[in-house]
Amino acid sequence: MFPIIFSIVIPAGLAKPAAVLAVLLVILGRALAWKRRAAREGHPVGLAAALRDDWVISAVLVVALAALWRAGLLGADVRLPLHTYGLLIAAGFITGIWLAQREGQRRGQDPERIADLTFWILVAALVGSRVYYILVNWRDYFEPATFLATTSFGRIPRLLAIWEGGLVFYGGFIGSVLVAWLYMRRHGMNFLAHADTLIPSVALGHFFGRLGCYAAGCCWGDVGHGHLPWLVRFPPESLAWQSFAGRDSPGSFLAADRSATLPLHPTQLYESFGELGLFLLLVVVIRPRKRFHGQVLAAWLMLYAGLRTLVENFRGDVERGVVLGLGVGIWTSLLIFAAGAAIFATAGRRARVQA
């Protein structure tokens, strides 16, 4: 499990009203935000119309609440632990939204529309990253012996137990791109222009996210056979230790007394600080010299694909899947690099023709 900073405990008698209140506040807050945006755009709407326009999110929240209620998960004390991983993910997301809104406003884009888009991006990222991992490791989720996971709430399908690990960045990114494209098409937003606004925030958010991975002990590196001073040993609470303990030859990965893993490459930090470097490169060097829409996006796609391919050579979590001797991450990196090159070539050529 992830390192827990502290836990919030909601007594059984307050769990149901607290959950209902939280859902109502989210629904009402989104409706009021939509009203303000519509008034600013010159076509004011009433609260009822704003609620109707946001019915999909409202329905999802109500269904989730009903499922928790029916399963009896709100009938006892509800313990909400604050994990280091979740805190860093939230910090990256909030910082990324703030930066994207600030840059969007500077470029004449609607900051509230960007904030609404980022909500859908967050949902798509969580679903996409989970689906990607499950597709690669489907036996761990659908075989009878591994289908269910035991939690403090009872036994649930393991595919819902995201705190056990199993979120893949590439899956989240692909899902986010698809949803963002559909959202922008519906609202008449230029995809490449807004992608250039958003992609530095993705890099910075990923910087925070990989720090969270380091705290959790997921996305770990291979055993280091040298005496590098930055190699790290993960304790039994980490996902790395727990994964190694379940392998056929745990002695190849754990210390003799099983108190920690053998020294591993901190690939989480390699990628985290690599993304921080890419973020600075995008906002300091590439974006100020941007010549066409899509240039910042294309640059990040190609640069990150190179960074990820380099880091993959030090990864040790084979659970991500291996195809033809190469990790699935490397194959995905090749596709991401090709997509970046195609955007750079086509968007650049279109800009030269229009010039």
pLDDT digits (tens, 9 = 90+) for 220-271: 888 887 778 889 988 888 888 888 887 778 778 888 888 888 899 999 999 9
Q: How far apart are CA 197 and CA 297, in angstroms?
A: 9
Identify which of 300, 294, 297, 296 has the alpha carbon closest to the alpha carbon of residue 276. Answer: 300
Q: 53-83 b/e with 16+ CB inside 10 Å = b?
A: bbeebbeebeeebeebeeeebbeeebeebeb
The tokens describing 323, both together, are: 């195809």
The tokens describing 159, both together, are: 């595919």
pLDDT in tens, 306-323: 999 999 888 877 666 666
Distances (CA, A) of 327 to 164, 225, 321: 21, 21, 6
Mean pLDDT of 55-71: 85
Element (H, E) at 74: none
Percent of the chain with pLDDT over 90: 33
- pLDDT value for 25: 93
Q: How far apart are CA 69 and CA 20, in angstroms?
A: 10
Are 189 and 116 in contact by the 8 Å Cβ rule? The answer is no
Residue 163 pLDDT grade (very low, low, confident, very high; cuts 50, 70, 90): low
pTM of the prediction? 0.78
Average pLDDT in the chain? 84
E strand segments, 44-174: 78-83, 148-151, 154-157
Are 227 and 262 in contact by the 8 Å Cβ rule? The answer is no
- pLDDT value for 193: 94
pLDDT at residue 49 greater than cutoff 90: no
Residue 1 pLDDT grade (very low, low, confident, very high; cuts 50, 70, 90): very low
- pLDDT value for 119: 84
Residue 287 pLDDT grade (very low, low, confident, very high; cuts 50, 70, 90): very high
E strand segments, the chain: 4-10, 78-83, 148-151, 154-157, 322-323, 326-327
Residue 115 pLDDT grade (very low, low, confident, very high; cuts 50, 70, 90): confident
Q: How far apart are CA 231 and CA 65, in angstroms?
A: 44
CA torsion 345→351→353→355, rounded to 10°? -150
